Amino acid sequence: MSTVALNFLLVVVGFVLLIKGADYLVNGASSLAKRFNVSDIAIGLTVVAMGTSAPELVVNIIAGSEQGAGGANEVVFGNIIGSNIFNIFLILGISAVIYPLTVERNALWKEVPYSLVATIVFFILVNDVMFFGGEKNGLEISDGIILLVMFVLFLVYIFMNLSRNPEAEIAEDIEIHGSVKTTVMIVVGIVGLVVGGNFIVDNAVQIAKFFNVSDKMIGLTILAAGTSLPELATSAVAAFNKKSDLAVGNIVGSNIFNLLLVLGSTSLVHAPLVYDATLNTDLIIVMVGTFMLFIFMFTLNKYKLDRAEGMVYLIGFIAYSYYLFVREDILPGLF
């Protein structure tokens, strides 16, 4: 077997470990949450979102270590921005096509706008040249602290909201495991995430070098798609089971976790993280996709993401993918 073929095989093995690790972590954590009568939307926004965002966190911490502090960490930023685009356009699109998603009013007026605000704040923080007259763009330790403070405020809001809404629908179909099994599931999940993340990052970088593909492209595509698979599986199954709150909460929560927790933590560990301003276009697409979710709540059926709107998201994802490959000179442009 050639070296490149082995690299591809190990990437696949890494994704399997990553996805199964996230699955064990989500199931174990959800079992704990169920003991405290946590609602579907709260589980989606917190426990499930954290579990499905764990692959991004692991991959980014490892990728930051591989490239070294101060390096052009295109994989780190590309992975998160690409994952958020996958989450909004592809995963929400697929989920809405499977079953129209009803969005809770509280989520529409608070969580969705907070996700948009988090993206805008991140956009400002990484564009030091544009907004602060800096010499280079990126995240410093101070920026990471700002992101993590916003993340803590988000968690505080969620738990305060729980106490204000005791009548919220409780997830009845989550199995409660024994304490030993729950602990084992969480530990095995974390191990799977760490080992799988190492396999993916190490071998994806080797593949990129072999085919002369930029680290930025690898982050926006291969790693973004791979680390978004837990979100896809969770939201698609939730939509199929008509659990709209879980499906929407998972995506909105994951995007907030990715920007605030994952990049905040990564910047603290590996600061300074240098940011490539060409990713601004992709970041604006994240903002547009989040704003579209808000607008879609007032078109067709109110407070519902219908199948037609899901198709708009999917068409948008196809258009973005084409643009991305043209931008990287992998496909010829139409004009």
Task: List CB contacts of 96: < 8 A, sequence separation 6 or more.
Answer: 239, 305, 306, 307, 309, 310, 313
Among residues 207, 305, 238, 266, the alpha carbon closest in space to that of 11 is found at 207
Tens-level pLDDT at each residue, the chain (335 residues): 678 889 889 888 888 887 787 777 767 766 766 666 666 566 666 666 676 667 777 777 776 665 544 434 677 888 889 889 998 999 889 988 988 887 777 666 788 889 999 999 999 999 999 998 888 898 999 999 999 999 999 888 877 776 544 444 444 555 666 677 877 887 787 778 777 877 877 787 777 778 777 777 777 777 777 777 777 777 777 777 777 666 777 788 889 988 998 899 888 887 788 898 989 999 999 999 999 988 888 876 777 888 899 999 999 999 998 998 888 776 666 54
* Helix runs in 165-243, H state only: 179-210, 215-218, 224-240
Name the CATH superfamily, with its identifier, for domain 3-327.
NCX, central ion-binding region (1.20.1420.30)
d(CA 245, CA 40): 6
Backbone φ and ψ of 330, nearest 5°: -95, -30
Encoding tokens for residue 78? 């590309």
Reading the block at residue 177, the tokens are 């495991």
Ranges of each domain in the chain = 3-327
Residues counted in the chain: 335
Whole-model pTM: value is: 0.79
Residues in Cβ contact with 315 at an 8 Å cutoff, skipping those fewer than 6 apart: none
pLDDT in tens, 250-296: 788 889 988 998 899 888 887 788 898 989 999 999 999 999 988 88
Q: Could you read off the pLDDT of 26-52 as tens digits, one per residue?
A: 677 667 666 666 665 666 666 666 766
CA distance 289 to 84: 9
Q: Where does the chain have alpha helices with state H?
A: 3-35, 40-43, 49-67, 74-85, 92-98, 105-106, 112-126, 128-132, 141-164, 179-210, 215-218, 224-240, 244-256, 263-270, 280-296, 307-327
